A = this chain, B = another copy of it.
Amino acid sequence: MKNKKLVMIPGPTPVTRSIQDQMGRETVAFGDPDFINDFKEVIKDLKEIFKTKGEAFVVAGSGTLAMEMGIANVTKEGDNVLVVSNGFFGDRYVELCERRGLKVDVLSAEWGSVVTPEEIDNKLKEKVYKAITVTHVDTSTGVCAPIAEIGEVVKKYEDTIFIVDGVCATAAEPEYLDEMGIDVLITGSQKALGVPPGLAIVLAGEKALGRRKSLGTIRDYYVDFEKWIPVMNDPSKYFATPPVNMIWALKEALKIIKEEGVENRYQRHKKVARAMQAALEELGFKLLAKKEYRAVSLSNALYMEGIEDAEFRKILAEEGVVVAGGLGAYAGKMFRLGHMGNIDNHFLVSTISAIERTLYRLGKEDVLGRGLKVLLEELAK
């Protein structure tokens, strides 16, 4: 029998049946009283889970649109902005900001490492930056930035808005806006939230909302906080047609998170990541991210001598697991394995065992069961 293909890429992640069911519901009018209540609950839950007294925004879009929404509401042309880049998506923010006429300085880390809070502190001392952006987990490298520590640093600079790109981290790594000093959190639906792709999700604390107000009318329309705030506070109001089914799917995803407990969810991701990473290392892969900076949401595994990317991923897909290829300089040199969102032990065991079967088919005879043993031992701790 053909193996079912498990979607173990760093997003979209596997979607539970209960979320699929929400996607597949008969669409209602966006003015439907039940839908209005559902939308209200989604906004309330987001603000509670990510702990902000500010606002939450859920709009049809993608993580990239959320990036634009994040920067558009807190900066104006000519402002200094500091982009901290630990990989591909950090670099994307550079281009996005430069197009907007922002004066961009960049702090980059070597791929696999991170820019430290100290480096950021030193840079912020140099001049007034109106905003700083940090990618929490860069899917290109599998590293996790020390957001809480960076938040402590940025808090000292009252003119600087701290934008965190949480696309590959939100709901896997702790992100508490008000206490961590995150002013804007941007994310998408299809990663650790476990919803299909199609939503841009943005949270903004009071400092960011104050900045937005001070800007007056901005050039952007669809991503303007001011257009959406009335709707997010009272979804019976209209700005643009809300993606009804996607919002239902998000509601179900948030229900799953609340049932698990968000702290438990973060702990689970940590345990799962350490177990998966230990299993991958046992099987002979080296991980791109240095141990102290490894993300919990994905692992980027460098191929050992003699394993060829296209062939590995083709056989692995036959064995029932889809992973993503490397980006940039690491294209062809590694695969990216997502292990976030609503996945249980069956997914983990299936994934490691499919990787073992793949390596075996590629001539590595001593692998069967070895990664699995380490995985189970780590999970049992």
Contact = CB atoms under 8 A, between A and B. Distances in A.
Contact of A7 (B11, B28, B100, B240): B28
Contact of A64 (B28, B190, B222): B222
Interface string A1-31: 0000101010110110000110111111111
Given A27-B190, A29-B322, A68-B220, 5 more contacts: A7-B29, A12-B30, A20-B25, A99-B221, A197-B244
User: Could you say how many copies of this chain the assembly holds?
Assistant: 2
A27 B9 contact: no
A324 B32 CA distance: 10
A239 interface: yes
Given A188-B241, A219-B99, A241-B11, A197 B68 contact: no
Interface in A134-168: none
B243 A198 contact: yes
Interface of A: 5, 7, 9, 11-12, 14-15, 20-21, 23-32, 59-65, 67-68, 95-96, 99-101, 188, 190, 196-200, 217-222, 239-246, 322, 324
Nearest to A325: B31
Nearest to A242: B197
Contacts of A32: 5, 322
Contact of A243 (B20, B25, B62): B62
A346 B42 CA distance: 35
A99 B11 CA distance: 35
